[in-house]
């Protein structure tokens, strides 16, 4: 398989941060927010309230000094009543702002986590519907990172960047209006200055972005090196290669350190610089404003024309601080928004992947025989199954007994249309027969079995199951009727019993135990700490290789299908243990149509027919004795004169 489990070695994703967003991506993200439109409305109101109270607190200084304090200075009998009322009013507004802040945070968390949950579930559900070829062409690490890196980036954006941007935006607009209400001239200065700040910010962000890309590359380099060397650590030790390994590592490590330093150092420049520019603006405004006030220049504001008051200048200065602050914050969030958009785009490509298509309409049903010996459908759990075949032409329904008769008729197949890997494959497997495939790696053994359960669809020819073209059979029902035991053991987190029951969730404990006994797994399972209720973690890593291999065999036995595919099912077991398992395997195979792929020829000897494959062609076929007598490829393999793999 082209899959690899490498997380660290793959090239960095999202290294390139672009500020150009795909409109479609934004639209789709918005569609995820749609169910929350009322909540979003509340959020917007809350943000308005919060930002409003923040702006009010800035403007309040002007009112406080101009309307209350300064008139009272020097008064004989200052009246604090007005101030008190205003302060109480402000207090109420502030409390409302604080309450709004709470609801804002809470609802926004609910929305962002809710969206994330939906996205994750969509991703996973869709992933389950994807054809096997998707998993062949995408590394595990890449698929995993949709759920980790990309989803994290999205969460970051939804829960932090968006609220931040909204609230900053509201603040900026409110402050801008307030500034206009004080002085148009001074506001123009602010706007002009804003452009300068934005230009500088963009320049620095670009430079530091370039270093971040470099950092990502050397991180990937170091991670790749570490992964390769650590995985071969035992070899490093037996060859005493420790020092060599260290010196190679040194160069990469130092380079990563340099690039990390440059990327971070550049990023760290931004905040202090922005801050400083903000103060520059402050001083400029103070000088210009002060001059205007003293010279009595006519000040234009949106309510009219007057001479700039001192209180107004003080307020304006405060406002300019509140104006620059959020702009700095927004620019800090841009990076995270860009990363999230890139992540969202990748997530959407997963969700847009073409699902496995299923046009099948023949289904598998429980059946029984009526008085006339005809098959009829029933809801009872009989042990008789039938293919229910509706005919669209005349609306009639026919029932065919499920027997396990499989025919491949002149089948051609290629993973890509240009390259055929299987040529003219003819196979006839009668119910109860054992058919074996033998051949070198890449000869197409596993590919054939993948065609039978329709992991892949054939290019030409026909595959019939009990006489029905498998393209007409619903995939789920087809697969239910086929049991598979693969070389790579995949167990799932859960108890041993859960794992045994995997293919037949309604199986009783007794059925599972009987199957385990059949596969010779019962004795070791009983020795586990909690027997059948022992929880298997991390793909059953606590079990020995041989023990792990027995569980899928028992699992297939529980599912009890009429056709079995055993793909190198016993290759990780040594011959001695295999001999012990063999009895179980034989019991499992009895009465079923079985397709066996085995490396070890002793496993396939007793097959009814053995197919020798070479480069996608069946070059020899027949029972063991016949093939040995022919002294062909099989004979050479069997006598060990030819290397498999």
Binding mask 456-475 for another protein (x = CB under 8 A): -------------------x
CB closer to another protein, 298 vs 376: 298
Q: Of the ranges 36-44, 63-71, 342-350, 384-392, which one interacts with another protein (CB under 8 A)?
A: 63-71
Select from 19, 37, 45, 148 the one that contacts another protein (CB under 8 A).
148
| Least Å from the CB of residue 188 to another protein | 20
Single residue of 16, 85, 125, 460 touching another protein by CB under 8 A: 125
Say which DSSP state 357 is in: P
Work out how close the CB of 358 gets to another protein at its nearest, in angstroms, rounded to a whole number. Answer: 11
> With binding defined as CB under 8 A, does residue 482 bind another protein?
yes
From 359, 505, 506, 529, residue interacting with another protein (rule: CB under 8 A): 505
Q: How many whole angstroms separate alpha carbon 568 and alpha carbon 578?
A: 12
| Residue number with CB closer to another protein (21 or 94) | 94
The residue range among 19-27, 34-42, 227-235, 334-342 that interacts with another protein, by the rule CB under 8 A, is 227-235
Assign residue 290 a region (left: φ > 0; alpha: ψ between -120 and 50; beta: otherwise). alpha
Q: Tell me the two tokens of residue 558.
A: 């529980």
x/- mask, another protein, residues 81-120, rule CB under 8 A, reads --xx--x--xx--xx-xxx-xxxxxx--xx--xx--x--x
Residue pair 328/275 in contact by the 8 Å Cβ criterion: yes
Please give the C-alpha separations between residue 82 and each of 58, 64, 69, 88, 307, in angstroms, as whole numbers: 19, 10, 11, 10, 25
H/E run at residue 301: strand 298-301
* Residues 2-21 close enough to bind another protein by CB under 8 A: 3, 5, 7-9
40 binds another protein (CB under 8 A): no
Nearer to another protein, 18 or 125 (CB): 125
**Whole-number Å distance between alpha carbons of 520 and 577:** 10
Nearer to another protein, 65 or 593 (CB): 65
* 533 belongs to the binding site for another protein (CB under 8 A): no
Asked if 318 is part of the footprint of another protein (rule: CB under 8 A), the reply reads yes
> Which structure tokens are listed for 205?
């962000």
Sign of CA dihedral 398, 401, 402, 403: negative
| Closer CB to another protein, 398 or 639, in the complex | 639
HSE (side-chain half, CA atoms, 13 Å) at 403: 16
Helix-, strand-, coil-residue percentages of the chain, each rounded to 5: 60, 15, 25
Of 129 and 523, nearer to another protein (C-beta) is 129
* Window 562 to 581, contacts with another protein (CB under 8 A): 573-577, 579
Q: Is 361 in the site for another protein (CB under 8 A)?
A: no
Task: Say how far apart CA 589 and CA 485 lie, in whole Å.
Answer: 12
Distance from first CA to last CA of the chain, Å, rounded? 14
Q: Which residues pair with 439 in a beta bridge?
A: 613
* Residue 137 binds another protein, judged by CB under 8 A: no
Phi, psi of 128 (to 5 degrees): -65, -25
Residue 239 or 428 with smaller CB distance to another protein: 239
What six digits make up the tokens of 477?
Answer: 């029902």
Any contact of residue 254 with another protein (CB under 8 A)? yes
Which residue from 470, 559, 598, 613 is in contact with another protein, where contact means CB under 8 A?
559
C-alpha dihedral over 141, 147, 150, 154, to 10 degrees?
-170
Using rule CB under 8 A, residue 158 touches another protein: no
Contact between 416 and another protein by CB under 8 A: the answer reads: no
Kindly list the distances between the CA atom of residue 318 and the CA atoms of 71, 279, 296, 311, in Å, as whole numbers in the listed order: 21, 11, 21, 11
State which residue, 79 or 352, has the beta carbon closest to another protein.
79
Min. distance of Cβ 458 from another protein in angstroms? 17
Strand (E) or helix (H) holding 191: helix 184-231
Pick the stretch among 19-27, 195-203, 232-240, 391-399 that binds another protein (CB under 8 A). 232-240
Interactions with another protein, residue window 424-453 (CB under 8 A): 441, 453
383: nearest Cα among 370, 367, 371, 395 = 367
Q: Does 286 bind another protein (CB under 8 A)?
A: yes
In angstroms, the CA 367 to CA 138 distance is 41
Q: Tell me how far apart the alpha carbons of residues 399 and 362 are, in angstroms, rounded to a whole number.
A: 10
- The DSSP code for 565 is E
Please choose, out of 264-272, 403-411, 506-514, 515-523, the segment that lies near another protein by the rule CB under 8 A.
264-272
Is 246 a binder of another protein (CB under 8 A)? yes
493 counts as binding another protein under rule CB under 8 A: yes
Residue number with CB closer to another protein (394 or 645)? 645
Stretch touching another protein by CB under 8 A, among 53-61, 188-196, 380-388, 607-615: 53-61
Query: What does 409-445 look like in DSSP terms, one character per residue?
Result: EEEEE-SBTTB--EEEEEEEE-TT-EEEEEE-TTSSH
Tokens of 361: 């309409």
For 370-382, give the DSSP string. -TTS-EEE-SS--
Shortest distance, CB of residue 114 to another protein, whole angstroms?
A: 7
Among 176, 213, 227, 542, binds another protein (CB under 8 A): 227
Under rule CB under 8 A, which residues in 293-312 are in contact with another protein? 293-294, 310-311
The secondary structure element, H or E, covering residue 96 is: helix 81-129
**Closest approach of Cβ 571 to another protein, in Å?**
10
CB nearer to another protein: pick between 5 and 382: 5
Decide: is 490 part of the binding site for another protein (CB under 8 A). yes
Q: Which one of 177-185, 382-390, 416-424, 622-630 is the stretch in contact with another protein (CB under 8 A)?
A: 622-630
Those residues whose C-beta lies under 8 Å from the C-beta of residue 308, and which sit 6 or more positions away, are 183, 289, 292, 293, 297, 299
Interaction of residue 626 with another protein, rule CB under 8 A: no
Q: Cβ of residue 374: shortest distance to another protein, in angstroms?
A: 28
Q: Cβ 304 to another protein, closest distance in Å?
A: 22
Number of residues that bind another protein (CB under 8 A): 163
């Amino acid at each position: 398989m082209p899959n690899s489990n490498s997380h660290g070695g793959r090239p960095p994703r999202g290294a390139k941060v672009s500020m150009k967003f795909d409109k479609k991506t934004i639209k789709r993200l918005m569609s995820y927010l749609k169910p929350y439109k009322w909540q979003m409305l509340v959020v917007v109101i809350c943000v308005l309230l919060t930002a409003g109270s923040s702006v009010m607190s800035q403007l309040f200084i002007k009112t406080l000094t101009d309307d209350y304090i300064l008139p009272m200075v020097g008064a004989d009998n200052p009246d604090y009543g007005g101030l008190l009322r205003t302060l109480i009013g402000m207090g109420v507004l502030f409390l409302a702002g604080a309450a709004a802040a709470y609801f804002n945070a809470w609802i926004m968390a609910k929305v962002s986590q809710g969206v994330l949950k939906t996205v994750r579930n969509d991703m996973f559900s869709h992933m389950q519907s994807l054809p096997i070829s998707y998993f062949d062409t995408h590394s595990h690490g890449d698929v995993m990172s949709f759920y980790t890196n990309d989803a994290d980036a999205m969460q970051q954006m939804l829960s932090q960047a968006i609220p931040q941007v909204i609230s900053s935006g509201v603040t900026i607009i409110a402050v801008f209006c307030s500034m206009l209400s004080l002085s148009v001239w001074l506001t123009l200065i602010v706007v002009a200055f804003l452009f300068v700040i934005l230009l500088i910010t963009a320049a620095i962000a670009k430079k530091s972005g370039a270093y971040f890309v470099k950092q990502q590359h050397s991180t990937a380099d170091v991670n790749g090196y570490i992964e390769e060397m650590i995985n071969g650590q035992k070899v490093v030790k037996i060859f005493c290669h420790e020092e060599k390994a260290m010196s190679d590592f040194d160069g990469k490590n130092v380079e990563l350190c340099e690039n990390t330093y440059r990327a971070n150092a550049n990023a760290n420049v931004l905040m202090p610089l922005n801050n400083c520019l903000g103060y520059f603006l402050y001083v400029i405004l103070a000088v210009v404003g002060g001059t205007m006030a003293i010279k009595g220049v006519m000040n234009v504001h949106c309510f009219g024309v007057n001479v700039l008051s001192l209180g107004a200048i003080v307020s304006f200065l405060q406002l300019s601080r509140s104006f620059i602050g959020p702009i700095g914050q927004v620019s800090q969030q841009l990076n995270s928004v860009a990363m999230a958009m890139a992540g969202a785009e990748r997530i959407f490509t997963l969700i847009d992947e073409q699902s496995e298509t299923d046009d099948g309409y023949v289904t598998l049903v429980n059946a029984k025989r009526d008085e006339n010996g005809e098959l009829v459908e029933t809801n009872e759990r009989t042990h008789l199954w039938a293919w229910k075949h509706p005919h669209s032409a005349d609306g009639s329904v026919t029932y065919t007994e499920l027997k396990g008769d499989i025919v491949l008729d002149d089948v051609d197949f290629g993973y890509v249309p240009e390259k055929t890997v299987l040529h003219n494959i003819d196979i006839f497997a009668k119910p109860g027969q054992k058919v074996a495939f033998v051949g070198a790696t890449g000869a197409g053994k596993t590919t054939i079995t993948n065609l039978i359960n329709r992991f892949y669809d054939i290019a030409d020819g026909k595959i019939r199951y009990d006489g029905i073209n498998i393209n007409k059979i619903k995939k789920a029902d087809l697969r239910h009727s086929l049991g598979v035991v693969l070389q790579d053991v995949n167990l799932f987190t859960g108890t041993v019993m859960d794992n045994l029951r995997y293919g037949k969730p309604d199986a009783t404990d007794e059925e599972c135990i009987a199957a385990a006994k059949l596969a010779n797994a019962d004795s070791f399972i009983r020795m586990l700490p909690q027997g059948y209720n022992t929880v298997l973690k991390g793909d059953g890593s606590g079990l020995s290789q041989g023990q792990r291999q027995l569980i899928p065999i028992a699992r297939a036995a529980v599912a009890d299908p009429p056709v079995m595919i055993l793909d190198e099912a016993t290759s990780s077991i040594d011959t001695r243990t295999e001999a012990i398992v063999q009895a179980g395997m034989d019991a499992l195979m009895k009465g079923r149509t079985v397709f066996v792929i085995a490396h070890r020829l002793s496993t396939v000897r007793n097959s009814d027919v053995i197919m020798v494959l070479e480069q996608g062609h069946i070059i020899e076929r027949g029972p063991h004795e016949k093939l040995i007598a022919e002294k062909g490829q099989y004979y050479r393999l069997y006598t060990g004169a030819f290397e498999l793999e």
